[in-house]
Every structure is written in C-alpha cells, then in structure tokens.
Chain A
C-alpha cells in the first residue's frame, strides 16, 4: 500500500508539471500538496489547499457524459445526513459516515473493506447537536487517516490497519460542543480542527494538533483578550476588539464556532477560515459588534498568530454564520493578477478579498432576493443594514431574506478554471422571525424565537449558480426545488456535478449550466462529489443520504412547522421525493 502511494506521487509531479496547474498548492514541493496535484487521487477534503474542488480529469466531457453509468455502490451503515466526501489515496477509498461515524477503507480493485473503525462516543452529543448528526469527511497525512467524531474526539487511524494511533478530546458535549467538520492537514505537520455547536454559547476556537502524537500546537479563540485570539503585532486590525466589542464578560460566551472548511496558501503560509454566530441568540442581549464572530481570519499556519480579520456581519441578528469555505484563486482584476480569497457567505454576499492583507476587492449579492442589507460599504467594509429586516423583541419581522440557513450554508462551491466561473450551490428560503415568544419545552416554560422559513421569490428553495468573479454577477442559474445542500465539483471536461435533496445526481455544462445527465440515487444528496482514476478510468463518487439542517424534519422525524428553527416548514414535502439512508454511489462511462 505504502509503495503504491509513493509510486503514484512520483507520477504526480510529472502530471502536475504537464498540466501547468494554477492553484496555489502547485507552488510548494511538499508531499501532500504534490499529491493533491495528482488528479487521479483526492487526498484532501476540499481536493487541494486552495479548496477549488476542480479536477484536471477530462475523460468525462460535455459530449459523452450522457453515457455515465453506475460503476459500484456501498451502504454506509448510517442513516443520518451525509455531508462529506470520500478521499482516494492510491488504490483505496476512505470515507466517514454520519453519526455513529463509521470510517471505512475500501479497496478499489475488488471493493472489499480493508478495515472499518467506529469510535465509542458520549451519547450526550446527540442531544446538543443542532442540525442533524452530520460529518464532513476525513483527512489524510503522515500515514494516518484523521477522523473527527460528533462528541469531539479527533482520532488518528493507521492508514494500513485502521487502528487508532492517538486520540484527543477537542471539545466537550457537556458544554454544548460537537464536532462535524473535516480536519485539514497542513504540511503533514499540523492537524487543523474546528468546533461546532456552541449551543451554550461557549467560545469557538480553532486548534492545531501535532500529527505525530496529537499534542496541541496552538489554539486560537474567536473572542477574548488578544492573547486568546492570538492577535499580536503582526495583526492589521484593531487590538482588544475580542473583548471591547462586548458588554462585561459576555465575550466568555461569545460563540464564534469554527465548523466550516479550512484552506491554506503554502506561499504565504496562511491558513484561512470563518467563524460562526455570536453566543447568545438574542441580539438585544449583546450590544456591540461582537468581534470576532462572523469573521474571515487569516493565521500563520505554524504559530496560529492572526494576520488579518474581516468581520462580515457585525452584531448578527439573523444567525448568518460566516463559516463557509474560503476558495483561494488568482483573479485578474483591473489589469492586475491578485491572489484572492473568494467566499460565498450565508448572509447572501459574495466576498472577494486580497488574501495577502484582507483588503476587500468586491462584495456583491449572489441572490437578488437578499434584503437584510442593501449593500456593503466598500470604504468601511460594513454591511448597510435595512432596519425593516432587523429582528426585534416582541415583533414578528416578516420576509427576511435569506432565512437563518442562509443563501448558502456549508455546501462547498468549486472554481471551474476552464470557464472562470465559480459553481455555487445555494439556498433560496426567506423567514419570519419573532424574538421573545413564550414557548414550552415539555415541563419547562421558556422564552425563545419563533422562526418560520418558506421558499423565496419564485418558489424554488435552492439553485446552483455560475458566478463570474470578475464582473461580480450571476452568469447562469439552475433552479432547484429544495436548497442545493450538497457541494459541487467542476472538471476539465467542461462538466460540473452536484446532487439535490430530492435524490438527483446531475451533470451540467460548467459554462452554461445546461443539464447534460442525471441519475436518481437511493436518498437525497447533501454530500460533495469527487472524481478519481483507477486502472486508467475516470470515476465520479458521491455520498447519498439526506439530512442536515435543511432536511432536519425528515432526519429527526419532525413535522411541526416551526421546528428546527423553521427548517421543517421549508421542506415538508421532501418525504414525497426521498427517504433516509446512507450510500456511496460511484459512476463511470
């Protein structure tokens, strides 16, 4: 197995040079980055450090994709939402299921299971997980498969045997914390792990663990004194904001979890990620900007020290977590090639920044229905909020767009190098939000928010769009009945792939969005497609298994409309299209 991997790596360097790849990962000669250049493998959750999810494979093209057939399938043994994607390393495919988080190594020669590992978990995690019991995949490095478990364990498994090499407890379910994100391995040295939940408002943090032994290298909090947020002399933003944009000691429960995706620029040695919503749900209870919640952070990958931070939604009143993926590409803007970071936020704005310094290049709505803010002030970088759609105590504020699940959630976009478009899976729900409503948890009265979500203008609840990053415009739109809660994959063959919550796996023309092929999978899709080669043949793989916040009603058996922060109302008819159940489905010509 080891030998096979090394042989593949040798081949890769040649392939990468031949392709003349433009992603940042190509600039460093480090094993993992080199491996990511081999289009035949898929070695990182987001495919490469730049998180482009674009493959140089081109056997499948716009003209032959109509002949795509199922090559092989496998049950995941789990029924909750499957948000992640497999890895392919050498001749083995690795993936992690939804809770109870089975991890599998599958031989691509004969599809036998080389090993399986299921962690023993603290069941309390199930009661504090907000949005279904999902997992977004494993990472690879240093001869190990790194798996996160819902209850906060990070487990390094020997790639050959599946036996744990080390385990750390990254977070504590008793404090409302869970772990759903996929780790990122930087330079085969640091394992980058986030934290989910923040149900009780506990401060979010990002942690680097030594891949050799699991020892903590650094931990950067989203709020608190600069020593906790790892803000020092090299930081371009205001000092002390992690405490002085809060009242009293509220920063201690400042939220700002880090449950999304992480990307890395080897040349700048900077790590990029976003932070989630502030801790206390009711905005009137936490005056101020609440920094550094809802922020894009750039940090030194070795030391964790922050280089810059850009807060997208100061004083969040809508639950627009800023954790979506940061895609690193070079953009030609105004005659200059700029190393950029492109981010499609839950708040409905596409942000394009200079990733060297955090300077805002462009901020435009990627869904015209977005109304909570009229625009982003390019001088201050702050959203100009429409007071009509500000949530307030005791008032049922109607028709806020987007709904709390955002114009886009964690489902990752891809960057199609051929067309120059980002292929972006989006949601299109709006909401009514009433803060301070009296409610009842069986046996216990309380005061909470009543949220009702429903389809946005036009009646579709989602869409996949082509985004022109230079013009800052939507180039094409493929409307979907349900939120497009799965990620996208673009390929050199001119074909992009994505799945839908009603179970379709689709291939579209990356330039126009025209549908070229589709197949109905066993369950709805909220996972992210990958592509790989085996025996010289191109395969496309997807995890089918509906769930997640958008399908929480089905996953948790709820039909009451306002349940799941209103998500249940917005997907009540899902049962007419699909049912729960996890499967890996793989296609080839």
Chain B
C-alpha cells in the first residue's frame, strides 16, 4: 500500500469516526451486568465492574445504563452473553478474558492470576502446584477452572473439595475463604480478583500467593489471564471506542482495581509482594 492510498484510507476512517461521533455521544453506554455478584457487580453499583463502567462512561462522555441479568443462571456466562450482548440488548460487558472467542475483546486492561490462599501463621512453602506440602493438605478449588486440571494432572484432586460459586446464584466467592478460616480445607486455590476485595477488608489472617503458568507437568497450564472488555462480534465501532477509553482512563481503571484488592500480576518474580 503506497502512502497516497494509506492517506486516503485514513481520511475515510476519520470521516467515518466523525460521522459516528455525534450519535454515539448522544447515546448511553449500555452495560450488561449481574445484579447480585460482589465483588464484580450489583444493582446498587458497588462492584468493581460498576466502578470501571463509570470510569469508561466518563472517558467516552456517555451516561452508563444497565441491563441486569444473572451471569450464573442455567448455562452460566455463555448463556448470559447469548441472551444479552449477543442479542443486542446491550453493547458492553466489562470483564471477560482476553482472547474470548464469541465476542470482540478490547485490549487487556489488567492481568491477574489464580492464587493459593492459606492462613498466614502456617507459613506454607507454596509457590506452584508442584510444592510438596500440597500433598498433605485438603485443597479447595472452584470446579471447571484451570486449577482443577492442575490438581488432576498431579492426582491432588483425590484430596480436594470442589466449590461451584461461578454457577450458583447467591453464593459468594468468600465462601472458599471461610472454608480456609474454619479449617474445612487447608488451602484454597481460586481466581484472585474474585477474593481480593474480601481479603482486603477482612480475613487479615489469610495470605494469597500467585500461581504462575507452568509446563512442569509436560503440558501448558495457564493460571495467569489478561482481562478485557467485550463488545458484540459485529460491533467493532464500540470495541474501538472502548479501546480509546481504556487508553484515556488507564490510571483511573488501575485505581479502581487496586481499591477492590485486585492483584495485578507482573510475573513470578513479584510473587513475594503478594504475601502481604
């Protein structure tokens, strides 16, 4: 492509953006979210996805409106997307893994990881799924998540206890922390952003250790996930607008995540930082 054609293409793009800017500004940012799933979101706007939506709305100059639907009903999150975003009832879902396939994802705006959670006073030496002490502990895990596979690969699942918060409306991700606290399980392994909020506000006697990606069992185990926002598959305009807003409000988004205790994963070498 020569310069002249590139410039022409750019001109068309700018014109299109200008043309779309007017109606877009006049319309609200329609967000689909769960009305009752802290720390992610709730109808009262108290979750971190609610706060992130406010920040993005401000960056876009658009008021935020919500379409509420449980993400934990029959069929779970996929069914939620099918009935809301992909049915055209809203334009944005705030929090999905980057590389999700049935939506258009923005660039990732944070990276976090699965973590081991156990009582501080135990001082366990746990840095990965291969840490020997795991053989002697009852391990709580959220079913159908990467730790389940990791536990299977090492046969650790034979002394574990499944939780199913992500499929059960009304249950709190803090349940697995309560199980650690009461000694029902020796260690929990769960997605950090689901429990960071609770760890920050109470459970000061528990500590969280990030779980790095691994190839130790001969296959890729992914425990670290970049997270993004999602637009409808056929709606690149909204996705592009969100990408712009993420760039503009980067600091604000990070501040919101930090205030909800979300641990930003920066690599295995930073693991000690998380011991808090």
- List chain A positions with a Cβ less than 8 A from chain B: 124, 127-128, 174-176, 199-202, 247, 249-250, 252-253, 279-280, 282, 284-285, 287, 393, 436-448, 450, 556-563
Contact = CB atoms under 8 A, between A and B. Distances in A.
A561 B75 CA distance: 10
B98 interface: yes
Contacts of A560: 75, 78-79, 81-82
B72 A442 contact: yes
20 contacts: A175-B158, A199-B143, A200-B157, A202-B158, A250-B152, A253-B152, A280-B153, A285-B218, A440-B77, A441-B77, A441-B144, A441-B145, A442-B166, A443-B194, A444-B166, A445-B146, A445-B227, A556-B75, A559-B83, A560-B78
Given A249-B154, A441-B145, A558-B74, A450 B194 contact: no
Given A127-B164, A176-B162, A560-B82, A444 B145 contact: yes
Contacts, number: 131
A441 B173 CA distance: 13
B101 A437 contact: yes
A284 B97 contact: no
A127 to B, nearest CB: 5
A202 B161 CA distance: 13
B249 interface: no
Interface string B48-74: 000000000000000000000001101
Given A393-B220, A439-B100, A446-B145, 17 more contacts: A128-B143, A175-B158, A250-B155, A253-B152, A253-B158, A285-B217, A285-B219, A438-B101, A441-B142, A442-B166, A443-B37, A443-B40, A443-B191, A444-B145, A559-B82, A560-B78, A561-B82
B62 to A, nearest CB: 25
Contacts of A443: 37, 40, 71, 165-166, 173, 191, 194
A250 B153 contact: yes
Interface in B94-143: 96-102, 142-143
Contact of A282 (B79, B144, B164, B219): B219
B211 to A, nearest CB: 13
B37 A442 contact: yes
Given A438-B225, A442-B37, A558 B152 contact: no
Given A249-B154, A253-B158, A559-B82, A440 B100 contact: yes
A438 B162 contact: no
B253 to A, nearest CB: 18
B34 interface: yes
A249 B99 CA distance: 32
A562 B78 contact: yes
Contact of A442 (B80, B99, B102, B227): B80
Nearest to A394: B220
A441 B76 contact: yes
Contacts of B157: 200-202, 253
Contact of B96 (A287, A440, A450): A440
A298 to B, nearest CB: 29
Nearest to A557: B74
B144 A252 contact: no
Contacts of B200: none
Interface of B: 34, 37, 40, 71-72, 74-83, 96-102, 142-146, 148-149, 152-155, 157-158, 160-162, 164-168, 173, 190-191, 194, 217-220, 222, 225, 227
B155 A253 contact: yes
B89 to A, nearest CB: 14
Contacts of A393: 220
B146 A127 contact: no
B197 to A, nearest CB: 12
Nearest to A252: B155
Nearest to B82: A560
A558 B73 CA distance: 10
Choose among A200, A250, A279, A441 the residue with the greatest number of B CB atoms under 10 Å from its CB. Answer: A441
Choose among B96, B162, B164 the residue with the greatest number of A CB atoms under 10 Å from its CB. Answer: B162
Contacts of B81: 560
Contact of A279 (B71, B98, B152, B225): B152
Contacts of B146: 445-447
A187 B75 CA distance: 44
Choose among B78, B82, B146, B190 the residue with the greatest number of A CB atoms under 10 Å from its CB. Answer: B78
Given A441-B145, A444-B145, A285 B153 contact: yes
In the A-B complex, the 3 residue pairs with the closest CB atoms: A252-B155, A445-B97, A442-B71
Contacts of A439: 78, 97, 100
Given A253-B158, A560-B81, A560-B82, A442 B76 contact: yes
B74 A556 contact: yes
B167 A127 contact: yes
A446 B147 CA distance: 9
A253 B153 CA distance: 8
Nearest to B173: A443
B224 to A, nearest CB: 9
B161 A174 contact: yes
Nearest to B101: A437
Contacts of A287: 218
A253 B152 CA distance: 6
B136 to A, nearest CB: 16
A559 B74 CA distance: 10
B166 A450 contact: no
A444 B194 contact: yes
Contacts of B101: 437-438, 450
A83 to B, nearest CB: 20
B157 to A, nearest CB: 5
A562 B34 CA distance: 21
A442 B75 contact: no
Contacts of B160: 200
B152 A442 contact: no
A247 B71 CA distance: 38
A204 to B, nearest CB: 14
A348 B74 CA distance: 31
Nearest to A253: B152
B147 to A, nearest CB: 9
Contact of B142 (A202, A438, A444, A448): A444
Contacts of B161: 174
